[in-house]
Amino acid sequence: RRKIAILTSGGDAPGMNAAVRAVVRTAIFRGCDAYAVHEGYQGLVDGGDMIRKMKWDSVQGYLTAGGTVIGTARCKAFRERPGRLKAAKNLVKEGIDALVVCGGDGSLTGADLFRAEWPSLLSELVSQGELTEQEAKDHAHLNIVGLVGSIDNDMSSTDITIGAVTCLHRICESIDSISSTASSHSRAFVVEVMGRHCGWLALMAGIATGADFIFIPERPPQGEDWRESMCQEIKRHRDLGKRKTIVIVCEGAIDSNLQPVTAKDMVDLLTERLHLDTRMTILGHVQRGGTPCAFDRNLATMQGVEAVNAVLDSRPDIPSPVIAMNENKITRVDLVEAVKLTGEVAKAIGRKDFQAAMDLRDPAFNH
Ligand code: ADP
């Protein structure tokens, strides 16, 4: 009887619970035992009551709940080998041989490292007398399957990540609210949105709300005098009769010299050069909270089912997969490759090769 565990790790994202529910129920449906590891990798390191067997009813109400009910954490211990040794021992002692990790690229990097180290972790545990030869032999291979839970949509190799669309809806609702007051008072608003070093949320929210100007890390403003060009553009919109101005700034926005572009700087610019009554709104954590939208519930459900299918198909010679979505289909992509490509975006930005950064992102960036 296979024993499959799921954990959620890194930043919470709406839809993570739906993924946990789908993994638990599909595992049970397929005749396996399902486990939830609480508090991300911390639960793996601590073991004991943090690794709990799940029944069909254990995930009742999960489909529509925001955040992650089984908890998430940033776990320092798992970054070090002694922490991963404890995690390996806890999994073997529970008899778990497959782990589904739902998290961002950091969490999936950790998962891949854990899988790669698995044989050496087991032999070290045997030499320490923590495991018997037989236990190590029975658990010689650890199956890892990744699910990408991230509001930022910052993972390469997949068109969309669990939580990003819900977050986009939240941002759009907020900007719609701001727009009413902006139009009424003929004001300008600079709105900072999440996304870390990925501009997807800012870009998509900008298109969906008809923003006047958008700042994303992958495509910094062009030209030395971009501030003047931006002001002229906004003035042109005003001259056409627009009574509101909305500028969206991704939290990781930069200029072409890799210097941060902040919402505060843009407020000062619009106030000083265009004499607009300009306010700043940093949306913050309202963006990531609340009930997942239908798309994220369904994405997480379909991907959770596929994660269990992938566990049941796994063989030691098949590389660990991440469950992705490509051109509207649920797919499996190579976890190592996806993590590597995601890292390439940051590297491309670091060497100011912004076109390469755009090419590595979701295809939507290049439309
Ligand atoms: P996200 O998964 O949202 O990108 P983090 O980067 O904070 O979030 O990663 C979440 C957790 O994954 C970390 O707290 C740590 O426990 C684990 N992790 C991240 N990177 C590594 C790594 N290189 N090696 C081992 N564990 C890692």
pLDDT at 363: 67
Q: Report the candidate in 254, 149, 147 with the shortest Cα–Cα distance to residue 198.
A: 254
Residue nearest to atom 24 of ligand 1 (CA): 110
pLDDT digits (tens, 9 = 90+) for 304-318: 999 999 999 988 888
pLDDT surpasses 90 at 367: no
Cα gap 246→206, rounded to integer Å: 9
**Cβ contact 45:77 at 8 Å:** yes
Q: Is the pLDDT confidence value at 365 over 90?
A: no
- Short-list 162, 262, 153, CA closest to 201: 153
Query: What is the three-class DSSP state of 97?
Result: coil
C-alpha of residue 179 to centroid of ligand 1, in Å: 37
pLDDT in tens, 80-137: 999 999 999 999 999 999 999 999 989 999 999 999 999 999 999 999 999 999 999 9
Task: Please give the ipTM for the structure prediction.
Answer: 0.98
Adjacency order of strands within the sheet including 143-148: 51-54, 33-37, 3-8, 98-103, 143-148, 321-326, 329-334
d(CA 81, CA 77): 8
Q: Of the listed 12, 105, 112, 152, which one is catalytic?
A: 152
Whether the pLDDT of residue 241 is over 80: the answer is: yes
Calculate how far, in angstroms, residue 351's C-alpha sits from the geometric centre of ligand 1. 24
For 31: left if phi > 0, alpha if psi spans -120 to 50, otherwise beta; the answer is left
pLDDT at site 361: 84
Ligand 1, atom 6: nearest CA belongs to which residue? 106
For residue range 150-194, list pLDDT tens digits in order.
999 999 999 999 999 999 999 999 999 999 999 999 999 999 999
pLDDT digits 0-9 by tens, 57-91: 999 999 999 999 999 999 999 999 999 999 999 99
| Half-sphere exposure (Cβ direction) of 222: Cα atoms closer than 13 Å | 3
Residue of minimum CA distance from atom 21 in ligand 1: 110
On the question of pLDDT at 17 being above 90, the answer is yes
Using the predicted structure, report yes or no on whether residue 338 has a pLDDT greater than 70. yes
CA angle 178, 184, 186 (to 5 degrees): 90
pLDDT at 359 over 90: no
Residues with CB under 6 A from ligand 1: 9-11, 41, 74-75, 78-79, 103-107, 109-110, 113, 150
pLDDT above 80 for 362: no
- Model confidence over 23-69: pLDDT tens digits? 999 999 999 999 999 999 999 999 999 999 999 999 999 999 999 99
In the predicted model, what is the mean pLDDT of the chain?
Answer: 96
Judge whether residue 364 has pLDDT over 70: no
pLDDT for the residue numbered 97 = 92
Q: Which residue out of 109, 152, 155 has the highest number of ligand 1 atoms within 8 Å of its CB and is therefore the one to mutate?
A: 109
Burial label, 316 (beta-carbon count in 10 A; 0-12, 13-18, 19+): exposed
Is 152 catalytic? The answer is yes
Q: Which atom of ligand 1 lies closest to the CA of 41? A: 16
